Amino acid sequence: MTEKPTFYITTPIYYPSGRLHIGNSYTTLACDAMARYKRLKGYDVHFLTGTDEHGQKIEKKAAELGMEPQAYVDKMADAIRDLWQLLGISNDQFIRTTDEAHEKAVQGIFQRLLDQGDIYLGEYEGWYSVSDEEYFTETQLSEVFRDESGKVIGGIAPSGHEVELVKEESYFFKLGKYAERLIDYYHSSEDVIIPGFRKNEMINNFIKPGLSDLAVSRTSFSWGVPVKSDPKHVIYVWIDALSNYITALGYPDQENEAFKKYWPADVHMIGKDISRFHMIYWPAILMALDLPLPKHIYAHGWIVMKDGKMSKSKGNVIYPETLIERYGLDAVRYYLLREMSQGNDTVFTPEDFITCINSELANDLGNLLNRTVAMINKYQNGSVKNYFDCVEEDQFEQNLKAFFDKEYSAYLESMEKMAFDQALDHLMAMVSRANKYIDETQPWILAKEADNKKLPVVLFYLAESLRFIGHLLRPFMINTPKEIFRQLGIEDEVSTDLSGLAFGHFPKESQVVSNGVPIFPRLDVEEEQAYILKEMTGKSNQDQSNSSRKLDDPDWDLESLNLDATIEFDDFIKTELKVAQVMDVAPVKGSNKLLRFRLDAGESVDRQILSGIAKYYPDHEALIGRKLIIVSNLKPRKMMGYWSQGMILSAESGKDLHLVFAPDESQNGALIG
């Protein structure tokens, strides 16, 4: 027997520092679709996922909860495992960076790089963001704060987190040495890096400006893998984390069966934010270890909300459990894999989610199955026979078959490229085509005319189309393909793989179920939208329902009563709000966010306020003369070398931001309150 070809696919390993939302879950879901597809195509698949459990962030989080880090990560890793089970993830292995074998292997990797001179001891000073666990150079910061002399005294990382200046003895990895080889690697085949534009991003943003050596140890915290020969240092989390892809296969034991069989990885699937780590650091480490490089690194985009990133503080996070509980596993898997297009961000909205289920799953797919099963019951007592290639076929059948053949090739091509949205486009095109075939052939007329020759052929073609579609859904959905096969009376189909799939291979005969139930009930758009919004924000339509109540209703205000509000009136009154008129405004050089305002707040001299609203007001000069509301007693603060005395009020609305204007007739300096 010939050995099966292998396919090794990995997800990033997740930080167990919080609950995973639909965004984090996407990477694992995408890998799962690919792993299932490859298994169906006859590959020996190894699908790895896991948790990235070391680092300062985890140490802090555990301390906040009064827990030992190990106890904390044990609990969180279990929750992540449970989530993957709920999402139907078919991983073959789950690695944790606190696994003993992994820790030992990481120490070994570090020591080897140290011994061979790829790592050396030095001193590091840089802008460090605890939340990102990353150092930034001044130019990488999205905002810098300076003192009067212009010296940088702080800043904000691209993630929005504040950075602090940290100086520590550190080991360094000679990253620069691998610059040329990295470029060669990117060009070694057309699709090593997917999508291709990330290649240029890596080259132009990081490699061309010069790769500085990478600090690969920390002394500022202890929750990590210690350097064996110098245990006051712990190994940088990214070296620890990235190594999981090989330690999971038994590395450093290169004779390990799993390692021999599966390395190099076929695909590292990641989110776009961790491209640099996977496309620069990881291949460079592998080069230093003299190991073959991954065949593909695929960075997908993010799932974002209308108002930007998902975040608890914005109240816009949506968890997979919430959606699965109400809409079922397959609807959630389908939607996420359908909506995300290769490499780009996707905006999640409750409307899109519900509309997608209604139109594609309930209407198109669900109705096709329902109508087919109902007609086979009605016209043929539930029996359907294979009439492929029989004399009664005419142009409708030929066209349908040709369409399926064409779309199937396109589906396979998209799957090979991991373009799941496109694969589902092709699949849905087949569903629509089969629905159109019903309209073309009008089986109810054939029945009326008692056409005993053509009618069984048409019903067979419909059943066969559904069998075909059921198979192609298998990488994406868990229960629906089985249910389609069950309703068609061909349960055994579920044990066949995709390699022999061909249109026409329906069993000789089958008996469909006598009462086919809808696979995706239609949802009420408004009701469900409100439900999802409530789950996201904790606010329900009911909460807002007092808007229609009359003021003379004695209880009208009780519904809005918020007893959890935390500040007293005396706290609020400390904030001084004033009307201030814009006398002049200009962008701040070197910042694409800040505008510098000169404002008349009714004081003896104008005051200056800096505000990060430049991108919302490209036409900022139009603001001259307008009256704004400012917080006038905030402690002055320096930004980009300028003093800012106060804050200008604005209202966030979705992706936009609007300044709050005071009425033109209000006096400059008038107190608000």
- Residue 637 is which amino acid? R
Strands (E), 54-114: 93-96
Among 80, 225, 234, 242, binds ligand MSP (CB under 6 A): 242
CA atoms within 13 A on the CB side of 228: 13
- DSSP collapsed to 3 states, 121-158: EEEEEEEEECCCCEEECHHHCCEEEECCCCCEEEEECC
- Measured at the CA of 284, the angle between CA 53 and CA 5, to 5 degrees, comes to 80
Q: In angstroms, what is the C-alpha Rg of the chain?
A: 30
- Secondary structure letter of residue 596 according to DSSP: E
Nearer to ligand MSP, 128 or 411 (CB): 128
Cis-peptide into 456, omega within 30 deg: no
* Among the residue ranges 266-274, 312-320, 556-564, 657-665, the one whose residues contact ligand MSP (CB under 6 A): 266-274
Rounded CA gap, 406 and 403, in Å? 5
Question: Across-strand partners of 45?
Answer: 7
Tell me whether the omega of the peptide bond preceding residue 264 falls within 30 degrees of 0, making it cis: yes
Least Cβ distance, residue 242 to ligand MSP (angstroms) = 5
Closer residue to ligand MSP in complex, CB, 52/535: 52
Sole binder of ligand MSP in the list 7, 8, 14, 503 (CB under 6 A): 14
CB contact at 8 A, 317 and 21: yes
Number of residues that bind ligand MSP (CB under 6 A): 18
Tell me the DSSP string of 339-359. Answer: HPPTTS-EE--HHHHHHHIII
Of 303 and 469, the one with the shorter C-beta distance to ligand MSP is 303
94 scored as a contact of ligand MSP (CB under 6 A): no
Closer residue to ligand MSP, CB minimum distance, 278 or 454: 278
Nearer residue to ligand MSP within complex by CB, 14 or 178: 14
CA 131/CA 125 separation, integer angstroms:
18
- Of 571, 538, 520, the C-alpha closest to 331 is 520
3-state secondary structure 373-399: HHHHHHHHCCEEECCCCCCCCCHHHHH
Task: Tell me whether residue 308 or residue 518 sits nearer to ligand MSP (CB atom).
Answer: 308
Among 7, 8, 9, 12, binds ligand MSP (CB under 6 A): 12
- Using CB under 6 A as the binding rule, whether residue 109 contacts ligand MSP is answered as no
| Cβ-based nearer residue to ligand MSP, 76 or 512 | 76
Q: Does 248 bind ligand MSP (CB under 6 A)?
A: no
Pick one of 9, 13, 163, 279: the residue that binds ligand MSP (CB under 6 A). Answer: 13
Q: Quick one: which of 241, 423, 582, 628 contacts ligand MSP (CB under 6 A)?
A: 241
* Cβ count within 10 A of residue 656: 10
Q: Least CB distance from residue 299 to ligand MSP, whole Å? A: 8
In angstroms, give the least distance from the CB of 240 to ligand MSP: 9
Interface residues for ligand MSP in 301-340 (CB under 6 A)? 302-303, 310
From CA 79, how far away is CA 241, in angstroms rounded? 19
Write out the two tokens for 229: 């020969």
Nearer residue to ligand MSP within complex by CB, 316 or 441: 316
Q: State the nearest-atom distance from the C-beta of 181 to ligand MSP, in Å.
A: 21
| Contacts (CB under 6 A) with ligand MSP, residues 477-536 | none
Quick one: which of 69, 224, 271, 283 contacts ligand MSP (CB under 6 A)?
271
Minimal CB distance residue for ligand MSP? 271
Stretch that binds ligand MSP, among 156-164, 208-216, 270-278, 606-614 (CB under 6 A): 270-278
Shortest reach from residue 412's CB to ligand MSP, in Å: 26
Site string for ligand MSP, 276-305 (x = CB under 6 A): --------------------------xx--
Pairing of strands 296-300, 193-194: parallel
- What is the three-class DSSP state of 429? helix
Tokens (6 digits) for 139: 């130019």
CA distance 666 to 660: 13
Which residue's CB is nearer to ligand MSP, number 126 or number 271? Answer: 271
Is residue 15 near ligand MSP by the rule CB under 6 A? Answer: yes
Residues ≥6 apart with Cβ < 8 Å to 117: 174
Of 470, 474, 531, the C-alpha closest to 327 is 531
Q: Which is nearer to ligand MSP, 27 or 650 (CB)?
A: 27
User: Which residues are CB-contacts of 363 (< 8 A; sequence separation ≥ 6)?
Assistant: 522
Characterize the bridge pairing of strands 143-146 and 152-156.
antiparallel
Binding segment for ligand MSP (CB under 6 A), chosen from 9-17, 69-77, 441-449, 534-542, is 9-17
* Pairing verdict, β 267-271 and 296-300: parallel
Among 191, 273, 425, 440, contact with ligand MSP (rule: CB under 6 A): 273
Shortest CB 496 distance to ligand MSP, Å: 33
Instruction: For ligand MSP, give the closer residue by CB, 270 or 434.
Output: 270
Please identify, using beta-carbon distances, which residue of 304 and 410 lies nearer to ligand MSP. 304
Contact 158, 142 (CB under 8 A): yes
- Identified binder of ligand MSP from the candidate list 274, 297, 599, 648, rule CB under 6 A: 274
**Binding region for ligand MSP (CB under 6 A) out of 8-16, 225-233, 543-551, 623-631:** 8-16
Q: Which is nearer to ligand MSP, 23 or 475 (CB)?
A: 23
Question: Under the criterion CB under 6 A, does residue 270 sit at the interface with ligand MSP?
Answer: yes
CB of 24 to ligand MSP, least distance (A): 4
Cβ of residue 130: shortest distance to ligand MSP, in angstroms?
A: 14
Among the listed residues 282, 57, 41, the one whose alpha carbon sits nearest the alpha carbon of residue 161: 57
Q: Identify residues 17-76 at the interface with ligand MSP (CB under 6 A).
A: 23-24, 26-27, 52
Contacts 24+ apart (CB under 8 A), 64-72: 69/223, 70/98, 72/16
Tracing tokens 């699937």 back to the chain, one arrives at 269
Residue closer to ligand MSP, measured from CB, 248 or 599: 248
Least distance between ligand MSP and beta carbon 353 (Å): 15
Q: Which residues of this protein are in contact with ligand MSP, per CB under 6 A? A: 12-15, 23-24, 26-27, 52, 241-242, 270-271, 273-274, 302-303, 310
